[in-house]
Structure formats: structure tokens, C-alpha cells
Amino acid sequence: MQEREKIIVSGLVTLLLLIWFGFVFHSDPSFAGSGWGLVFGISGALLMFVPLLYLIVKRIKPLKKAMTRHVSMRTMLAVHIYAGVIGPVLVVIHSGHKFESPLGIALIAMTLIVVLSGFIGRYLMSVIGREIREKKAMLEDLRNDYDIAVGQLEDSGRVSLLRDAGPIRSTVLRVFAPLFQKLGDPVEIEVLRLADAIADVEYAMRTHQTFKRAFSKWLKLHIVISVVLYLLIVLHIFAEWYYGIRWLA
């Protein structure tokens, strides 16, 4: 998530929570059925269905290929995010803080859950992705420095086993560590320092990859609860239509 986008979306999510929390101080049972209430409700519902476009386009390759000729996936993701936050803000305003019916309470609750899960997941995924990219670049630099240092040792006829990779290299380094430190050779000490740094970065990358895999499951959960939210919206619209649009009376 870009810094500007993160600030704007964070502000909108904060606004959503503040508006929702307004039920402590305010409740207007008639607002949802009024003219302005209907405007906010319809506008919010339409915006909340906009994010479906991104999910559909992303998963249907022919449609994705056709759409990306005109609009980039990055732009569609931005629309997905903004519509997915502004829509719920309008819907909460539409409610007039009248949280009495089970359907209305479930709808507002699922709206907040979907928005918060999407915001937190999107923010954490961007952080994890950036961390992984930075760690990869750092690891490449460390390995280059390590290879140069080990090459210097090999050229001088010293430890060649340091070229071994993975657990073997780690074991060799630990075995020879006391000797290197005792001898105090700057190159050997540098090799140890670089090896420790490489091990730390590799461990951090594995941890980040674990989180990334976990968030792939989060994405599926986010889609599931979004589908539940859409079903509740459709049920709410049907109920309002069935019992009549009160503001016309």
C-alpha cells in the first residue's frame, strides 16, 4: 500500500468507526426510510458492490486480459479499496444508528468486519511484501561479500569447507568459530560475521514467508465473509422492497 493511499484509507476507516460509534450518542429511527436516508443507502450499496469487479476480473484470465488493455490492475485495486471503504461509510450513515433488527445488526457487524479485515490484511501484506524484497536484496549483498571473503581464505590455502552450503556450512562455521576468534584473523572474523548475518536474514525471510502463506488463507476468509455480506445486503434490499419504501408514503 502506497504511503498516500495508506493515509487516505486509514482516515476513511477511522471515520467509519467514529460514525458507527455515534450510536452511543445518537439514534434516528426514521432517517433510514427518509429521502436522504435512501440516497445514502443506495449510494453505499452500489459502492459496496464495486469491489466485486476486481475480484472477478482478477480470477478470470480472458476478462483480465481484456480489461487490462484499458485499465491497469493497480487502478482497479485502488478503486476496489476506496469503494470498499466509502460505501460502508455511507451505509452506516444510512442506518441512522438504528440497530434494532437482527438483520440490520448483522449487516452493520459484517460490514465492519469486512472493512477492518480488508484494511488490516492489505496493510500487513504490503509491509510483509516490502520486507521480503528488502531482505532478498540484503541477502544477495551479504552472500556476495561472503563469497569474496571465503575466496580470500581459499586463495591463502585456508578453510575451503566454508564453500559448503546450508546446514553443512553452518556446522563448519560453528566448529571453526573458536579457532577463528582465537587467531583473530580479520578475514576469518569477517567470514563469521557475514555467515551469522546471512543466517539471521534467511531466518527472517522464512518467517516472513510463513506469514505470507498464512495471509493467503486470510484472503480466502476475507472473500468468504464478503460473500456473506453481499447476501445480507441483498436480503436487506429485498426486505425493504417487500415491506415498502416508507419515504414515498
pTM over 0.75: no
pLDDT in tens, 197-237: 888 888 888 877 777 777 777 778 888 888 899 999 988 88
Per the listing, cell 567470514 goes with 191
Neighbouring residues of 212: CB distance < 8 A, sequence distance ≥ 6: 125, 128, 129, 132
Domain boundaries of the chain, sorted by first residue: 3-127+222-248, 135-203
From the number of C-beta atoms within 10 Å of its C-beta (0-12, 13-18, 19+), residue 243 rates as: exposed
Q: Is the dihedral of CA 37, 38, 44, 45 positive or negative?
A: positive
CA distance 35 to 42: 11
pLDDT in tens, 45-101: 999 999 888 888 888 888 888 888 888 888 888 888 899 999 999 999 988 888 778
